[in-house]
Chain A
Amino acid sequence: MKLNKRQSAILMSAITTVLLVTILVGGLLVSNDRIVTNLEYRNLPPSLAHPFGTDWLGRDMLFRTLKGLSISIGVGLIAATASVIIAVCLGIMAATMGRIADAVISWLVDLFLSVPHLVMLILIAFVVGGGMKGVIIGLALTHWPSLTRVIRAEVMQIKAADFVQTSRRLGKSRWFIAIKHIFPHLVPQFLVGLFLLFPHAILHEAAVTFLGMGLSPHQPAIGIILSESMRYLSTGMWWLAFFPGLLLLLVVRAFDLIGDRLRSLVDPYRANE
């Protein structure tokens, strides 16, 4: 069976989505007694019974990693959604509410882009007092600027399009134009933006947690697993860090892939690349 680009893009996205949902649900279903301390099986290298090995307390690394990933995906999803909503609102406001609103919003975008992203996250985590709340607020507040620019440009372009101008001359209200003409064009931007922000959000969550400013040490987040593993790396327990990080990479890559494919579905110009 020969698929065209469109079909293969849909198929790829579907397969990747199923994979991600499996990890998410799998992680949620793993009961806590699968990662319970088990001193008999301490420091085991990867084997058939424990594909990712066990740690210094005898906990199975595969189940810890899955649980950590599902936490990360959850946090990333909340934060990315919030960020996309902020970006859509600000982008629309900048494009439609006149010069002053536009200037204020683009100044805000510049403001957020002028501090290194990670420093900003550390600052927000510090201000909120760390923990899950700090990470989610930090991620939500820092991922909108670039998408806001995209949405602003998009809305500007639609506003200037002939069909919108015609509609306005025909006497349609601003509200009608916003809902019937502009909004439908933003739905795909919203979805694509979500999937493209997601990888950044997860990576930043892991990074902040790794630095000790994020999720609490009691949760088996990937950042926690990796920062704990640093104490044992010099003794040669490579599996503690290698597999969790690799799985995180795969999840991030998968989301990136879906976002990219979705974008080429939405934007026919790019689809031929």
Chain B
Amino acid sequence: MQNIVLFIIRKMTRLLSLLCAISIITFILISHSPIDPIQAYIGADMMRVGPEQRENIAENWGLNKPPAEQFYHWGSSLLQGDFGTSMIYRQPVAEIISEKFLNSLALMIIAWILSGVIGFVLGIVAAVKRDKWADRIIKWYCYTLASTPTFWMGLVLLMIFAVWLEWLPIGMGVPAGVLAENVTLTDRIAHLILPALTLSIVGVANIALHTRQKLIEILSSEYILFAKAKGEKGFTLIWRHGIRNVSLPAITLHFAAFSELFGGAVLAEQVFSYPGLGQATVEAGLRGDVPLLLGLVIFSSIFVFAGNLMADLISFIVDPRMKERRSL
């Protein structure tokens, strides 16, 4: 038990050091960007804004101060949980992120679970049927998927299910022209299916190939040979000796894939105009919303870190070999 606490403390210190570095580096990078935040903020009305008004805006956002002071200001309010105010949404960044994150979370959880389960099953089938046609098809399919641009997969699904078959809506998080209180759960789910499907199809490849590889290693081990010598075979053999051993690395890998999941969500949300974090990231980048972009970079790295931490924790708690290695 003490070990676990120590382990978490160590991980947390690392997270803090990385987060500090990320926020400092990101801030320095952004303050050297050629994009003028005031111009980005005003946009097309640039001609109608006089120099005095520009001054006022700069004053309002604190943009006329030296970068070090700006960073101090931003960093100290960040420590109090204040991410600043988004320029395009004119709302606190923390509010926007938490609102959009709920949308994205629904999308990512569904995709994550689906791709995990499907990938795991495909990997096991491929390993059991090694070098048979089922294995060849699954391998071919996974390698092809790994080369597929996520957004193109989204476009193809959109063309098939939304345009051609007209089963599902083309995009957005909720139907257009309907008042917020009239949006039903069914509507939301209907708008969620295609982006989630896109994400899960693309996410399958990695986990399936990894599971296949691990299970093949396990199947050539001596305890499997022994089990076979005792007369175990087929599904029972895999279930008793294979699945348990292969599930841990698969789960660990899948938790560690949060970074790709987030990247995939950015693309899928863009294709389907789904109002999540990914779309907010793209908007912030395109329209020069510095506070929102900074907040999103930090939030997304916490998200990735959470995935890695869970992966480490699970293998730490579940795998008895890890404990032995640590006590040595």
- Residues of A at the B interface (CB closer than 8 Å) are 107, 110-111, 113-119, 122-129, 199, 203, 206-207, 210-213, 226, 229-230, 233-234, 236, 238, 241-242, 245-246, 248-249, 252-253, 256
Name the distance in Å between A231's Cβ and chain B's nearest Cβ.
Answer: 12
Could you tell me if B29 and A211 are in contact, using CB atoms closer than 8 angstroms? no
- Nearest CB of chain B from residue A189's CB, rounded to whole Å: 21
Interface residues of B in 248-290 (CB under 8 A from A): 258-260, 262-263, 266-267, 270-271, 281-282, 285-286, 288
Interchain CB contact under 8 A, A118 and B267: yes
- Report whether B159 and A230 are in contact in the complex, using a CB–CB cutoff of 8 Å: no
Minimal beta-carbon separation of B10 from chain A (angstroms): 13
Stretch of B57-65, B231-239, B292-300 that contacts chain A? B292-300
A39 to B319, CA, bound (A): 66
- Tell which of A124, A126, A233, A249 touches B288, judged by Cβ atoms closer than 8 Å: A126
Across the interface, do B146 and A256 meet the contact criterion of CB distance under 8 Å? yes
The answer to whether B33 touches A233, judged by C-beta atoms less than 8 angstroms apart, is no
Task: Determine if A115 and B297 form an interchain contact, defined as CB atoms under 8 angstroms apart.
Answer: yes
Contacts of A111 in B (CB 8 A): 18, 21-22, 25
Q: Which residues of B contact A110 (CB under 8 A)?
A: 14, 18
A-B contact count (CB 8 A): 142
Which of B87-95, B150-158, B180-188 lies on the face that meets chain A? B150-158
Sample of 10 A–B contacts (CB below 8 Å): A114-B301, A116-B301, A122-B285, A123-B297, A211-B266, A211-B286, A234-B163, A241-B159, A242-B156, A248-B149
Do the beta carbons of B163 and A236 come within 8 Å of each other?
yes
Say whether, besides A116-B304, A119-B297, A123-B293, A226 and B152 are in contact (CB < 8 Å): yes
Best-surrounded residue of B17, B18, B155, B304 (most CB of chain A within 10 A): B155
Top 9 nearest A-B pairs (CB, nearest first) are A245-B152, A118-B263, A252-B147, A116-B262, A253-B147, A129-B34, A122-B285, A127-B29, A241-B155
B contacts, CB < 8 Å to A: 14, 17-18, 21-22, 25-26, 29-30, 32-35, 143-144, 146-152, 155-156, 158-159, 162-164, 170, 258-260, 262-263, 266-267, 270-271, 281-282, 285-286, 288, 293, 296-297, 300-301, 303-305
